[in-house]
Structure 1
Amino acid sequence: MLKTSLRALSACTCVLSIGQGWASDFVEDSHADLVIRNYYFDRNYINATHQPAAREWAQGFILNLRSGFTEGPLGFGLDAQGLLGVRLDSSPARAGTGLLPYNATTREPANEYSELGLTAKVRASRSELQVGTISTFLPIAFASPARLLPQTFRGAYLQYREFERLTLHAGWLDRINLRDSTDYQKMSVGSPNGRFNGAAESDRFMFIGGNYAWSPRLTLTYYHAELDGLYRKDHYGFVDNRPLGPGSLNSDFRLFITGEDGAGRAGPVDNNNAALMLTYTLGAHKFGAGYMQLTGKTGMPYLFGTEPLVITEGTLSSEFLNPKERSWQVRYDYNFAAMGIPGLKGMLRYVSGDNIELPRLGGSNLSESEKDIEVSYILQSGPLKNLSLRLRNAWYRNDFSAQASHRDDNELRVNVDYTWKLW
């Protein structure tokens, strides 16, 4: 019932009131906002398929309450996040978009779903430890914000900032809460197109690494992660941004090296993924070109339910991470503020992958491609200032067999978001 869900959101408002008996900074530095998100998802499959479309429309509410810290060498705080999703339109024949939970047997989508996440935090000097509901946005564990409600983890997360120009990250996670779920589950490996044994589970994901600002223009990154008993991953990267002619050139290099961990219960893991994205900015224009190549015997593993932070991030229908795959992309972005329309932006992208090895789903030398168009607008003034509209359309094609997870489709996503700052 909707009333039950609203209780979860209302409960969050009680959390910060506890702090009034602690210390002034705990309350005075607190802030809260409510994200109101309307999401329409429409993926139409082409050619013969067991499901002609995945199409749903839903309304989401994300209440974020963040306290300050108590006074003293160790400051203590408490954050809360209340989530509520409401079904506007769906059916068993069109479920599975990731917007709404659905019954695995009947495929009947839920009318509504809700949850409450709590995070205890401790601050010492410039560093912070979080325990409880965790969101990480790192190359080895990127919590997905790409649907109605965000995906989260359960565990502990330390951000250590005591060294100049260096930020260290370390974490221990034991459960994942998927973006269309209200309960915590054991973690597994994303396995589209049957790349790995997706049924193998783990209750321990550990990571350590950091970012180092070598100079104002160059940042280096390294992370090591292990999903206990399934896979291990090392990430190396750099981002360099410097003037070139009348504009500036951004160079984004990412290397992932992955292998089996322990018993390797997800099956063989053997993959290296090297990629470079170059983006030239000239006034309101951005021109991008990138190349990514996977080598080894398997595709690249990542945590199921998260987003792999590779240079094809933001594509809608595929991540281009199949065994042996080579992909290239071109991208163009334009900021219409240069034409007197601040807040309006547009993007065009084309991604093509080939040399794919899927012996059970079509054989060797397979290919896939995706065309994307995106238009977004943020209202600049008035009572609804910062109301945002985002429209994305994609056309995806491949020559895999009909049993593949990724199938030919035309996809439309429409988001309307408004953030109401409560205090």
Structure 2
Amino acid sequence: MPTRPLHAVFARSPLPHAVALCSVAMSLGAQAQGFIEDSHANLTLRNYYLDRDYQDDGAKSEAREWAQGFILKFQSGFTEGPLGFGLDATGLLGVKLDSSPDRSGTELLPVSPSSGRAADEYSRLGLTGKMKIDKTLLQAGDLNLALPSALSSPSRLLPQTFRGGYLTSSQIDGLTLHGGYVDRIAKRNSSDYEAMTVASPNGRFNGRATTSHMAFVGGDYALTPELTLKAHYLEVADLYEQGYLGALHRIPVGPGTLSTDLRAFFSDENGSADAGKVDNQHLSLQFAYGLGGHRWTLGHAHQGGDTATPYISGTELMGISEMTMSSDYLNARERMWQAIWDYDFAAAGVPGLTARLRYVRGDNIELAAFGVDDRKEREAQWEMGYVIQDGPLRGVGLRVRQSFYRNDFPAGAAFRDENQTRLMVTYNLPIW
């Protein structure tokens, strides 16, 4: 996508501006106890390499880029009194380390649609005002959402955020209420806010249709220490609406713990239905058993109705297929199975080292835009991560993820046969 010159967004980068904002906040805090006393700031460094090696006969044989991200966050405390006020600021900067027009498009960096060339750098500054009364918090401005139907994507160089207002309340013990209204999205590889659209891989919906806003309400209730129930509703004006019901139950079984995770999404078109027909019931059930450092997971998801599951482009849906690398497994009528093994090596005396093996398979897929059905896809994935525990590099995190994805989709489909590799080095530096 085309990007404005950096001077049109910030003078050079958002980092000096965020620092200046923190200085202003400190001067304000001198007049308001708690604003600064409870504040903190940190800088996260994220070095990210992503390589898609396509295994089909498509026009592009690979997408491979390397970039460095800087995430500077300031979070204030609240002014004293029954009604407290605060201010948060996030400065984001992404810098290209390696890319070229013939292999751009990993979504680590913005790309010009005319030349295919990735931007040398991109940046933005997010400001969030906040107001707190007892256990009720109102935020306005740049928002990071973690809703079942709208998860701010953390899976690239810089985080994806929304613009709007968000109210959370935990006045009743065990119950957290959510409500909000957002009108723009800042995607993970963009400097600007833009109108929201529905994700449309494989031509599922009209991905060009935009919405004026998204509104949501919901609640999470810990009925018992072992059982949490969730109910949420989201409306994306003139595109679609989506209800969500979920239940998470944990109980000791033998020497370990058994978790049962039930999630259900119910989606229909909304208003003028500019994205086209929406008719989907997404049901999933997942069991996980944890013992020592091991965790074994088995899950199944079933798509009912005539269309795929809708979600906002640039975000992620919190289904059980979340955090897969090469597909979303949300196609119309798809039946998805997955098996996961996680291991924390702290149980074996190596703290900071973790591993995962994952296999995902989907079948009975209908791709209406291509006039085909009964298609299949599968993905084998492994990853390892390590956070250095001692020495001068203490706190540096290293992670490698790799997947091998195959399907029998027709040529031109969004998800292509590929071998994908991601390498990440992260470091979080507390400033105060």
TM-score range, shorter chain: over 0.9
Secondary structure, in 3 states, of the residue corresponding to 2:12? helix
Whichever residue aligns with residue 115 of structure 2, its letter is: T
1:68 corresponds in structure 2 to 77
C-alpha displacement of 1:15:
4.2
For the 8 Å contact 1:332–1:349, the answer to whether it is kept is yes
Percent of matched pairs sharing the same residue: 49
Aligned counterparts, 1:5-20, within 5 A: 5=13, 6-20=15-29
C-alpha displacement of 1:379:
1.3
TM (normalized to structure 2)?
0.96
State the distance in 1 between where 2:44 and 2:122 align.
16
Whichever residue aligns with residue 361 of structure 2, its letter is: S
C-alpha displacement of 1:95:
1.2
Q: 1:18 to 1:102 in 2, by over 3 A?
A: farther
For the 8 Å contact 1:9–1:84, the answer to whether it is kept is no
Q: 1:11 to 1:105 in 2, by over 3 A?
A: farther
Residue number among 379, 383, 404 corresponding to 1:374 in the alignment: 383
For the 8 Å contact 1:298–1:324, the answer to whether it is kept is yes
- Could you list the per-position Cα deviations for residues 103-151 of structure 1 after superposition, in whole angstroms to 9, with x for gaps in the alignment? 1111110001111110000000011000000111110110001100000
Residue number among 168, 173, 182 corresponding to 2:177 in the alignment: 168
Whichever residue aligns with residue 194 of structure 2, its letter is: Q
Residue number among 182, 195, 207 corresponding to 2:216 in the alignment: 207
For the 8 Å contact 2:164–2:180, the answer to whether it is kept is yes
- Could you list the per-position Cα deviations for residues 337-371 of structure 1 after superposition, in whole angstroms to 9, with x for gaps in the alignment? 12221110100010000000113336110000011
Alignment pair present for 1:77 and 2:52:
no
Q: 1:53 to 1:76 in 2, by over 3 A?
A: same
State the distance in 2 between where 1:290 and 1:262 align.
34
C-alpha displacement of 1:383:
3.2
Q: 1:30 to 1:110 in 2, by over 3 A?
A: same
For the 8 Å contact 1:362–1:401, the answer to whether it is kept is no
Residue number among 116, 132, 154 corresponding to 2:125 in the alignment: 116
4+ runs deviating over 4 angstroms:
none
C-alpha displacement of 1:194:
0.7
For the 8 Å contact 2:41–2:431, the answer to whether it is kept is yes
1:198 corresponds in structure 2 to 207
State the distance in 1 between where 2:187 and 2:136 align.
28
Alignment pair present for 1:154 and 2:163:
yes
Residue number among 186, 189, 210 corresponding to 2:195 in the alignment: 186
C-alpha displacement of 1:384:
2.9
Which runs of no fewer than 5 residues in structure 2 stay unpaired? 1-5
1:4 corresponds in structure 2 to 12
State the distance in 2 between where 1:331 and 1:178 align.
29
Whichever residue aligns with residue 133 of structure 2, its letter is: A
Which runs of no fewer than 5 residues in structure 1 stay unpaired? none
For the 8 Å contact 1:12–1:116, the answer to whether it is kept is no
Q: 1:19 to 1:384 in 2, by over 3 A?
A: farther
2:396 corresponds in structure 1 to 387
TM (normalized to structure 1)?
0.98
State the distance in 1 between where 2:153 and 2:125 align.
17
Q: 1:28 to 1:20 in 2, by over 3 A?
A: same
For the 8 Å contact 2:295–2:342, the answer to whether it is kept is yes
Secondary structure, in 3 states, of the residue corresponding to 2:363? strand
1:265 corresponds in structure 2 to 274
1:288 corresponds in structure 2 to 297
For the 8 Å contact 2:227–2:248, the answer to whether it is kept is yes
Aligned counterparts, 1:21-420, within 5 A: 21-361=30-370, 363-420=372-429
C-alpha displacement of 1:9:
4.3
Moved more, 35-44 or 47-56: 47-56
Q: 1:51 to 1:8 in 2, by over 3 A?
A: farther
RMSD over aligned CA atoms reads: 1.3
C-alpha displacement of 1:54:
1.1
C-alpha displacement of 1:319:
0.9
State the distance in 1 between where 2:130 and 2:181 align.
15
State the distance in 2 between where 1:241 and 1:282 align.
13
C-alpha displacement of 1:7:
3.6
- Could you list the per-position Cα deviations for residues 300-339 of structure 1 after superposition, in whole angstroms to 9, with x for gaps in the alignment? 0001100111001110000100000001011111111122
- Could you list the per-position Cα deviations for residues 35-58 of structure 1 after superposition, in whole angstroms to 9, with x for gaps in the alignment? 000000001111211211111000
Q: 1:345 to 1:362 in 2, by over 3 A?
A: farther
Whichever residue aligns with residue 97 of structure 1, its letter is: T
2:3 corresponds in structure 1 to none
Aligned residues: 423
State the distance in 2 between where 1:384 and 1:10 align.
25
C-alpha displacement of 1:387:
1.3
State the distance in 1 between where 2:51 and 2:403 align.
10
